Amino acid sequence: MTTEKLQALLDSMTIREKVGQLVQCNAGQFIQNDMEITGPEGELLPAEDLNRVMGSVLTFEDAAQAKALQDRHLAADPKKIPLLLMLDVIHGLRTTYPIPLAMGCSFDDDLMAECADMARKESAVCGVHVTFNPMVDTARDARWGRILETSSEEPLLNSRMGAAVVRATQGEDLSRPENVACCVKHFAAYGAPEGGRDYNTVDLSERTLREAYLPAYKACLDAGARLIMPSFNALNGIPSVANRWLMNRVLREEWGFNGVVISDYNAVGELVTHGVAENLKDAVRLSMLAGCDIDMVRNAYYLYLEDLVRDGVVPEEMLDQAVLRVLKLKNELGLFENPYHGADEEAEKKLYLCPAHREIARRAAEESAVLLKNEGILPLSDRIRKAALIGPFADERHLVGFWSRPGAWKDAVTLPEGIQALLPDLELIIERGCGAEIGDTDESGIDRAVEAARSADAVILALGEPENDSGEGRSRATLTLPGPQMTLARRVLAANPNTAVILFNGRPLELTELDELAPAILEMWYPGTEAGNAAARLLFGRANPCGKLSAGLPRSVGQYPMPYNRMNTGRPKPQPDSQAFPFTSCYLDTPNLPLYSFGHGLSYTTFSYESLTLDRTVMRPEESVRVTIRVRNTGSGAGKEVVQLYLRDPVASVVRPVQQLIDYRKISLEPGEVKEVAFTVTEEQLRFWDFDCSFRSEPGTFELSTGYADHLLLTRTFVLQ
Ligand code: NOJ
């Protein structure tokens, strides 16, 4: 449809019809109740009218349902404006790949893009027009259960992963039925709730907000994301959906975003609960004036926006602009010509869980696993005749994570299935030992598990966190392994020292005691559909671990928030980190540094960093420094290494981080092979938000290092003139 026709359509619409475009209903409400719709607080809504005018729906099941919803709406709407169908496809639709936090550990933007591309194909045939993805909330506190949904605690990694998702999902041309529009979320700083408690208030300086939190949203918008979702939380006192500074000033004016803003689930209604709106009508006024185009699910716009426009409280011009943004998106998706977009029942059958998709998911699961520790136990030898598979995750299928599609766990491969597929002759004894639920105290299975451990040549101890303990609304105040898992671990590790621990969990856990006892720990996170196959291949050396932590693991939950790119203090703790130093910034009872820092991860081979060289030591602002890092595979097997480049600005007008990742690249090396990795450092990478919140660099000396957080290597300096 041409722009003129789109404008003519808008001009022909009544206020009620315009408001409808900004209303999003839950598909389940229509389908289950056959058009009887009840609002969240029990208002009986006129379903016929809602169906006639509404602009979008979320959460539907498949292509058949997508088409039925569209048909029903189009039959009722005299203007024949197609619905936008939206769904949360976070890490795969039917073929589930690892949770985003795990994908961050791959440090592999191309692999992330491959996974997102697979999810795009499955989403498109399901009938999805918009996915509520990527989620790029920087998270520095694992008490927050939604840390699993983000790629990292690190803004650059988060930005690159998010942008890769956007490009792969949207493609070049959204009107093509195989492409899906992205909604980046949750704007802004949803990942920094006080106390790590989901939905809680966020209080941040503008500099921290701009340096640590905003870049990833911006990167996704720069990559072309068409929608953005304001977060549930209040940011510095104002809930995001009503935050004019955030949405009008930063998003629209500074960043020039002209796509669609959609509230989070009932976030407009929650303005009343937050205590910034008198009532629902007032909440509609606040969120419309702040620039929120679509009201997700609450139907608040449906109930009150028409009156507010008629009374002149919300200018009709503002309504028109919001509606035009929605219509433009529909037009860009080609929905006026093809309202089903890619929905295709036959293609669903062919694509879902097809071998090619499973292969990508398996590779992603292998590349995102992090070998935390290995004292010669892993990989396990094929010569082992009898292995004991012990622990609550020893024979578990719920390995896909909270944000996978409902029922996706049923397709996941368990650990024993993966091991037996690889080694059919290996004798496996499986003992659960105990549960992993919070508050679980039943230790009655531990004796049998210990017996099994004693009788085996090797033990695989599968521990972790139940899938429902991380995700939305799943905050924890303690981060140790839940239930009696540590009792099980102590006894099994004492019974058979040839034990490798494998972990399935959705957040960084506090592993301090386990780390002291276990000779090998492999962190798998929630690996998705191919969990068991990927784990088996890693455990038995068919795949070589190469993941690096995308968020550090704490020694103690009391260390949070614990960003690796922390600021220096006036009294930094002298190193080594093992003891307290009075009157320095330290704990009396715990070292400052994480148990495992951001960027850590071992391999079955070893790498040595031979040199870091700069092509110049003095740089003018318009120039750049070329950094070359030489890495050698010093072990006996092929492996992949993530070469990381860190910056420090030792003296500046405001305090700067002690280390900051500014680039990374993953390389493959055969045994004995040497590779040089080159990075280019420009003046832009040296900028920061200064005292007056302007983004600029300052002349002076800068340090560049490789290695990983808290373990920097080969530091070289240069001067910016
Ligand atoms: C609430 C979540 O915060 C958001 O991430 C999600 O996209 C919406 N619900 C829709 O399901």
CATH, residue 508: 3.40.50.1700
Q: Residue 132 C-alpha to ligand 1 middle, in angstroms?
A: 7
In short, whether 472's Cβ falls inside 6 Å of ligand 1 is: yes
Q: Are residues 180 and 65 in the same domain?
A: yes
In this structure, is residue 650 part of a structural domain? yes
Residue from 229, 232, 297, 402 to probe ligand 1 pocket by mutation (most atoms less than 8 Å from CB): 229
- Tell me the HSE value of 178 on the side-chain side, using a 13 A CA sphere: 9
Q: Is the pLDDT of residue 256 over 60?
A: yes
In this structure, is residue 568 part of a structural domain? no
pLDDT attached to residue 45 = 66
How much is the CA Rg of the chain, to the nearest whole Å?
26
Residue from 137, 241, 264 to probe ligand 1 pocket by mutation (most atoms less than 8 Å from CB): 264
Tell me the percentage of the chain whose pLDDT exceeds 90: 95
Q: Residue 219 C-alpha to ligand 1 middle, in angstroms?
A: 20
Q: Is the pLDDT of residue 36 over 80?
A: no
Q: Are residues 320 and 376 in the same domain?
A: no
What does the pLDDT average to over 350-363?
98
Position with higher pLDDT, 525 vs 34: 525
Q: Residue 28 C-alpha to ligand 1 middle, in angstroms?
A: 15
Between the CA atoms of 144, 398, 376 and 458, what dihedral angle is there, to the nearest 10 degrees?
140
pTM of the model as a whole:
0.97
Phi and psi at 613, nearest 5°, equal: -125, 150
pLDDT attached to residue 164 = 98
Phi and psi at 78, nearest 5°, equal: -65, -25
pLDDT attached to residue 41 = 47
pLDDT attached to residue 397 = 98
Strand partners, 645: 663
CATH, residue 287: 3.20.20.300
In angstroms, rounded to a whole number, what is the distance separating the alpha carbons of residues 44 and 26?
15
Q: Are residues 329 and 448 in the same domain?
A: no
What does the pLDDT average to over 44-69?
89
Phi and psi at 446, nearest 5°, equal: -70, -40
In this structure, is residue 581 part of a structural domain? no
What does the pLDDT average to over 521-529?
98
Residue from 136, 240, 472 to probe ligand 1 pocket by mutation (most atoms less than 8 Å from CB): 472
- Residue 132 Cα: closest atom of ligand 1: 7
Sheet with 295-296, side-by-side order of all strands: 260-261, 227-230, 181-187, 130-131, 84-87, 56-58, 23-26, 295-296
pLDDT attached to residue 35 = 44
Q: Is the pLDDT of residue 229 over 70?
A: yes
In short, whether 598's Cβ falls inside 6 Å of ligand 1 is: no
Q: Is the pLDDT of residue 582 over 60?
A: yes
- Residue 232 Cα: closest atom of ligand 1: 3
pLDDT attached to residue 30 = 65
pLDDT attached to residue 44 = 58
- Residue 186 Cα: closest atom of ligand 1: 5
Q: Residue 473 C-alpha to ligand 1 middle, in angstroms?
A: 11
In short, whether 132's Cβ falls inside 6 Å of ligand 1 is: yes
pLDDT tens digits for 157-167?
Answer: 999 999 999 99
> Can you give 647-689 as a three-state secondary structure string?
EECCCCCCCCECCEEEEEEEEEECCCCEEEEEEEEEHHHHCEE
Residue from 88, 147, 268 to probe ligand 1 pocket by mutation (most atoms less than 8 Å from CB): 88
Q: Is the pLDDT of residue 5 over 70?
A: yes
What does the pLDDT average to over 391-411?
96
In sequence order, the 6+-apart residues with CB closer than 8 A to the CB of 424 are none
Q: Is the pLDDT of residue 27 over 90?
A: no
Strand 23-26 to 84-87 pairing: unpaired
Q: Are residues 236 and 366 in the same domain?
A: no
| Residue owning tokens 């004796």 | 447
Q: Are residues 524 and 401 in the same domain?
A: yes
Q: Is the pLDDT of residue 644 over 90?
A: yes
pLDDT attached to residue 26 = 87
Nearest Cα residue to atom 9 of ligand 1:
265
- Residue 231 Cα: closest atom of ligand 1: 3
Q: Is the pLDDT of residue 339 over 70?
A: yes
List, by residue number, the catalytic residues: 264
Nearest Cα residue to atom 4 of ligand 1:
264
Specify the number of domains making up the chain. Answer: 3
In short, whether 190's Cβ falls inside 6 Å of ligand 1 is: no
Q: Are residues 112 and 178 in the same domain?
A: yes
In short, whether 88's Cβ falls inside 6 Å of ligand 1 is: yes
Strand partners, 521: 373, 501
> Can you give 347-403 as a three-state secondary structure string?
HHHHHCCCHHHHHHHHHHHHHHCEEEEECCCCCCCCCCCEEEEECCCCCCCCCCCCC
Q: Are residues 612 and 674 in the same domain?
A: yes
pLDDT attached to residue 31 = 60
pLDDT attached to residue 244 = 98
- pLDDT-based confidence at residue 34 (cuts at 50, 70, 90): very low
In short, whether 265's Cβ falls inside 6 Å of ligand 1 is: yes
Q: Residue 283 C-alpha to ligand 1 middle, in angstroms?
A: 19
In this structure, is residue 355 part of a structural domain? no
- pLDDT-based confidence at residue 29 (cuts at 50, 70, 90): low
Q: Are residues 329 and 400 in the same domain?
A: no
Round the average pLDDT of the chain to a whole number and report it. Answer: 96
Q: Residue 187 C-alpha to ligand 1 middle, in angstroms?
A: 12
Q: Are residues 338 and 190 in the same domain?
A: yes
Q: Are residues 419 and 497 in the same domain?
A: yes
In angstroms, rounded to a whole number, what is the distance separating the alpha carbons of residues 212 and 141?
13
In sequence order, the 6+-apart residues with CB closer than 8 A to the CB of 500 are 377, 378, 380, 458, 459, 460, 461, 518, 519, 520, 521, 522, 539
Position with higher pLDDT, 578 vs 30: 578
- pLDDT-based confidence at residue 32 (cuts at 50, 70, 90): low
- Residue 135 Cα: closest atom of ligand 1: 5
Range of the domain at 268: 3-10+24-347
Q: Are residues 81 and 191 in the same domain?
A: yes
- Residue 185 Cα: closest atom of ligand 1: 5
In short, whether 185's Cβ falls inside 6 Å of ligand 1 is: yes
Q: Is the pLDDT of residue 42 over 70?
A: no
Q: Residue 172 C-alpha to ligand 1 middle, in angstroms?
A: 26
Q: Is the pLDDT of residue 327 over 70?
A: yes
| Sign of the Cα pseudo-torsion (166, 172, 178, 181, in order) | positive
CATH, residue 681: 2.60.40.10
Q: Is the pLDDT of residue 93 over 90?
A: yes
Q: Are residues 151 and 115 in the same domain?
A: yes
Amino acid identity, residue 100? P
What does the pLDDT average to over 413-428?
98
In this structure, is residue 596 part of a structural domain? no
pLDDT tens digits for 687-714?
Answer: 999 999 999 999 999 999 999 999 999 9
In this structure, is residue 183 part of a structural domain? yes
In this structure, is residue 656 part of a structural domain? yes
What does the pLDDT average to over 497-517?
98
In this structure, is residue 646 part of a structural domain? yes
Query: Domain end: 290, 320, 347, which one?
Result: 347
Query: Domain end: 535, 557, 579, which one?
Result: 557
- pLDDT-based confidence at residue 513 (cuts at 50, 70, 90): very high
